[in-house]
């Protein structure tokens, strides 16, 4: 019994090696790849009866499609060769006219929508152009007023007086102008713009001390002053972009 089991085991291993050798040879020679292996698995997975049933179903589906195509060809041939009655011709003409009217109505509606859009865009462009011109004129007026202020001897005297104060006192006086507690002279420049010009005209050391006093009380305001020292006097677009939401822009 033991000998029979040994012989059976040897034969099974030999067959396994033989099958492996055949599969390896098929793969090496290009006769077997993954696609053909999948096809082989699918073929072996079906019983002969299942394969016959599947092929019969595929043939029936192809026959049905051919019948449908033949019916369609017959219908087209009949429409092309058989004469149309007057009623059918009138109905066909009415259908074609209705389709043409619908296309025309849709085209006219789309054209009207485009005209309305163009009119709105043109009005918006005109409005933006007027706003830009007003902004430019206001900016040029502010620059002219600023140049006029800087050219006055009294302004230089005020700056020298401000620089002669201790930094906390100078900060208090400038804060009164900034908050509107002291009315600036008539002109395009408001109190905040004049504060910026006072700071710009001061010597670096004294200006730094005054900004430091602002920073002690209100760091956000100190940052606003720093930005206005950088942007005031440049193009209006740059100045407006640098302005903070809490800081009203000069008109």
Give the total residue count for the chain.
251
Say which residues have a Cβ less than 8 Å from residue 92's Cβ, sequence separation at least 6.
84
User: How many beta carbons lie within 10 A of that of residue 17, not counting itself?
Assistant: 10
Count how many Cα atoms sit within 13 Å of the Cα of residue 151 in the half-sphere of its side chain.
6
Report whether 192 contacts 146 (CB < 8 A).
no
Token couple for 146:
């600023």
Per-residue pLDDT at 139: 67
One digit per residue, the tens of pLDDT, for the chain of length 251 reads 566 666 666 566 665 555 556 656 555 566 556 676 677 667 666 677 777 888 888 888 888 888 888 888 877 776 666 666 677 777 777 888 888 888 888 888 898 889 899 888 988 888 888 888 887 777 676 666 666 666 567 778 888 888 888 999 999 989 988 888 876 665 556 778 888 888 888 898 998 999 999 999 899 999 998 898 888 755 554 444 444 444 444 43
Say which residues have a Cβ less than 8 Å from residue 178's Cβ, sequence separation at least 6.
191, 192, 195, 221
Per-residue pLDDT at 251: 36
For the CA atoms of the chain, what is the radius of gyration? 47
Per-residue pLDDT at 220: 93
What is the C-alpha to C-alpha distance for residues 205 and 94, in angstroms, rounded to an integer?
91
Per-residue pLDDT at 242: 41
Token couple for 139:
């900016």
Q: Which long-range contacts (CB under 8 A, 24 or more apart) does 240-243 make?
A: 240/135
Per-residue pLDDT at 13: 66
Report whether 233 contacts 146 (CB < 8 A).
yes
* Burial of residue 209, with CB atoms counted within 10 A of its CB: 0-12 exposed, 13-18 middle, 19 or more buried: middle
């Amino acid at each position: 019994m033991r000998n029979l089991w040994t012989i059976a085991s040897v034969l099974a291993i030999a067959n396994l090696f033989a099958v492996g050798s055949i599969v390896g040879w098929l793969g090496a020679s290009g006769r077997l790849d993954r696609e053909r292996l999948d096809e082989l698995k699918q073929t072996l997975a079906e019983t002969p009866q299942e394969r016959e049933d599947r092929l019969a179903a595929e043939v029936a589906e192809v026959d049905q499609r051919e019948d449908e195509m033949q019916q369609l060809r017959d219908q087209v041939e009949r429409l092309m060769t058989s004469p149309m009655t007057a009623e059918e011709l009138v109905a066909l003409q009415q259908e074609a006219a209705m389709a043409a009217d619908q296309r025309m109505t849709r085209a006219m509606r789309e054209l009207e929508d485009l005209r309305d859009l163009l009119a709105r865009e043109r009005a918006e462009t005109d409005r933006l152009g007027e706003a830009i011109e007003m902004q430019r004129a206001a900016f040029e007026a502010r620059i002219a007023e600023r140049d006029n202020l800087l050219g006055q001897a009294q302004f230089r005297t005020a700056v020298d007086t401000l620089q002669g104060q201790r930094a906390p006192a100078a900060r208090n006086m400038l804060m009164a102008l900034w908050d509107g507690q002291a009315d600036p002279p008539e002109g395009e420049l408001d109190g905040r713009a004049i504060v910026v010009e006072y700071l710009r005209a001061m010597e670096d050391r004294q200006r730094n001390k005054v900004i430091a006093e602002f920073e002690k009380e209100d760091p956000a305001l100190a940052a606003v002053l720093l930005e206005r020292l950088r942007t005031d006097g440049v193009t209006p677009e740059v100045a407006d972009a640098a302005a903070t939401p809490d800081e009203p822009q000069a008109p």
